[in-house]
Amino acid sequence: MSTTPIAQTIAPTHYPCRSQLYRRHISSGARFEEVDDSAVVADYADAGDEVHQATHLALADLSTLPRTGFKGAGAPGWLEEHGTQLPNSPNQAAQQEDGSLIARLSFGELLILSDLNSESTLPAILQDRWSLESAKRVYSLPRRDSHCWFALTGKHAPTTLAKVCGVDMRTHKFAECAVAQTSLARVNAIILRNDLATTTCLFILSDVSSAEYLWDALLDAMVEFKGGVVGMAALRALAVAPD
């Protein structure tokens, strides 16, 4: 599904799905656009500057984008029956033909993330087709309900995470589509590298109860490198940037 930026009259409260941080985004001057059943931050009034900011160091809230998950001994086979390409080993991700990502957290647990444009219907299709009766030894994990989703981008992203995480995420150590399940600022998190063309991008997912705390912890760690917040417009622009 394509998305069209909409003026700031769009309000997150008009939609059934909202980020835990929507009040903060509003207070920061965010302009929102409609994506499926939610409003996401398009920008904070200057999308052009945000593109530059995102190549340096930026934090974006993707928490309302579609995602889901499944676990169980039958989960890998069931997903493959639906035409997906799975990573061979845990702590790896594989990009699908429609732009979505499947991260393998263990041999029997998988996380499915939409693309940034929310054009991928894979999370919704899989969720609609799943049932305890039709998918033997497969259990649904509603990750959109349970986990917030942030993106930390730019050349200083790995150095910023080094201040709050013990995993070495420098680009020559933490490869594209690598996944880490670790402690980040003392909360459990899933970190997945998914670069936007030539710009480093680290997806961060954590329990929704930690969303505000983790957002603040990351912003605090970014101060040294003059990081800032950006909206979806900047991320999409970088994703199609020429090499």
Q: Per-residue pLDDT tens for 185-225?
A: 999 999 999 999 999 999 999 999 999 999 999 999 999 99
Query: What pTM value is reported for the model?
Result: 0.94
CB atoms within 10 A of CB 59: 23
Domains and their CATH numbers in the chain: 67-144 (3.30.70)
Strands (E), the chain: 31-35, 38-43, 58-61, 67-71, 92-95, 101-106, 109-113, 139-141, 147-153, 179-184, 187-193, 201-207, 228-229
Tokens of 97: 């033909």
Strands (E), 22-146: 31-35, 38-43, 58-61, 67-71, 92-95, 101-106, 109-113, 139-141
Angle between helices 47-56 and 232-239 (to 10 degrees): 70
Contact 2, 117 (CB under 8 A): yes
Residue 109 CA neighbour count, 13 Å, CB half: 9
Contact 231, 40 (CB under 8 A): yes
Lowest mean pLDDT among 125-134, 150-159, 203-212: 125-134
Instruction: Give 175's DSSP letter.
Output: -
Q: Per-residue pLDDT tens for 85-98?
A: 999 999 999 999 99
Which residues does 197 contact at the CB level (< 8 Å), separation at least 6?
238, 239, 240, 241, 242, 243
144 pLDDT tier (thresholds 50, 70, 90): very high
